Structure 1
Amino acid sequence: MQATLIFNKSSGSTDSIEPQEIIEALRRKGFETIYPQTEDENDLDLALEDPKDLVVAAGGDGTFREIAIRLLGRNIPIVPLPLGTANNIARSLNLSSDWEQIIEGLDEPYRRPFDMGCVRLDSSSYYFLEAFGFGYYATGLAAYNPEEGKSVLRSLAAFAETVNNFFTEPVSLVLDDQDISGKYIIAEVMNTDSFGPRIKFSPDSNPSDGIFEVIRIDEENRKSLLSYFTSLINGELTEQPSVLLDRGRKLEMIWTGNYPLHADAVVIDPIREPDDPGLFPVTVEIIPSALELWLPVEAKNGKE
């Protein structure tokens, strides 16, 4: 079999491993590996025009997302090698960070389906693997601006400033014909159990079950934001009395365009012009079994 290796040199742990080590490990498992250089999105497009029998994604959550979007609907299996910082997707799959163990398991891989989310806004579509949402996190992410590169200090400053400055407004939300409208300081449609910098917002989420968890925190609890962060660290958020959780497959939202949205680490900027009364319908749907992942059998012990 032939494999294509996508290796993100800027991911968190890739400085401790060389692509040739992965290529050699794959060779021992019977794979002839192509390793294209991918410095930008155009390179990645070209590299995945003909991805052969298998794609090995060596990098973090962002790397996996970019590969997944390009392989959607093409029936090409992916082997994730979690070499990033957060590795939320790998953690949701109970996947070891030992890339050699993952490749060793390719003799008889555990083939697991993986859902994706699709956000439709106007004529644009955005895809997510972890979460889509609005409120505190999306506003802080927009202030941080991932396009400027990674910086722990800059992210702390952006989110600290956001606590006091972001605003909320009533939002119309319909989940599978159920009205869940409200005024929320944060609302997230979760596919994996964690998103962002390992924020474990939805411990029971399973990216292979064909359903989303939609978690919201009411505006009345803005003053208790610190206690929510403590709960997140302890993995106890959904035990907080003011956390609302519903499950569904299709969310319809009316967006005023006054505040940012996010799809994973991609910020969808406000689009409303001053004095523009326009409203923008947003549809969020799950794509069940959008991808097939090849994992070691040890990962079967996770949520299925």
Structure 2
Amino acid sequence: MLHFPFINSADTSLGRIDYASLPQQALMEIFIAGIENPEAVGGNHEEPKDISEWDGVEIDSETENVIAINWNNQHLRGSIDVQWLPATVSKVSLIKNYLSGTADLTRLPAGLTDLAISTNDFTGTADLSLLPDGLKMIALDNNNFSGSLELRKLPSSLQKLDTRNNVFTESISLGELPHGLTELNLSYNWLRGSLDLRSLPRALNVLQLQNNQFTGSVDLAHLPDGLTILHCFLNQLSGSVDLTSLPAALDTLTLSKNKFTGRVDLTRLPKRICYLHLDTNNFSGETDFSHIPESLKLLNVANTDLSGEIHRKKTQRRIFLVINSNVTLHGMT
């Protein structure tokens, strides 16, 4: 078993050791050099085992190259240096550990397709402008990343991006997202500014923007046809909303706890919609509830100034929340 004594003492701040000339064993040892308990995954700083014996490391049987790392929920402590990941690695998952420090996302392996470092304690900025061209999924959620989010230079291959539960700030641009993006979760941050939803990718299925500081009005009449979930609750959005041109595929729309005003037209809701939350806004006026689709399982208009009558049939298993509104509910309670 070869041991690389320079690894622990190497000062990478003096410049990048010749990455291309290092064997994969050395690269992996440098990658985990900042982990305080490498034995949790079979590593050892003093007497390193061959990487083929490490837990959660997938080796290609023909090339003997590392192709995937899965160290989820291994109680790992310390830091990692992602720039030393072997170039052959395509998938890295380090979910639910105690890893800390920064993560330089501009120096990931060119062949990486999936990166999940969710539920750790990473800090610093998250530069998304130089991600690998073939990256399909990146999950940074439930950390302490901060700073701005640059969404205009994401790789065209990206399908899923999750940055929820961090401390990202500043405004964002949603107008130049990758065409193939299907899921985008920016919720539970401190993002602010306006939201332009008119040029979202046509492939987008799920958009979660809740619990931020977004302001201004939103255009709901030009959403992607295949969008099924849109969460905008717990922001400071205002103005009126048009619910007559929502996507036919929409299942869930949550606009709760904003500052929306005006009337709402519920006569042309999507035929598949199941959950509609309009509560805790300044909506007002007489509302026609007689055209609610049969698919609707929950309608929440509580804490609004909407008025009107809802007649619920005994055979329907539906939930209507109307407390602190002027809406009258008839039928089963």
* TM bin (shorter chain): under 0.3
Query: Is the helix fraction higher in 1 or 2?
Result: 1
Q: Greater Rg, structure 1 or structure 2?
A: 2
Structure with more strand by fraction: 1
When the two structures are superposed, what TM-score results if normalisation uses the length of structure 1? Answer: 0.26
Q: With a CA cutoff of 8 Å and minimum separation of 6, indicate the structure with the bigger relative contact order.
A: 1
Give TM-score, length-normalised by structure 2: 0.25
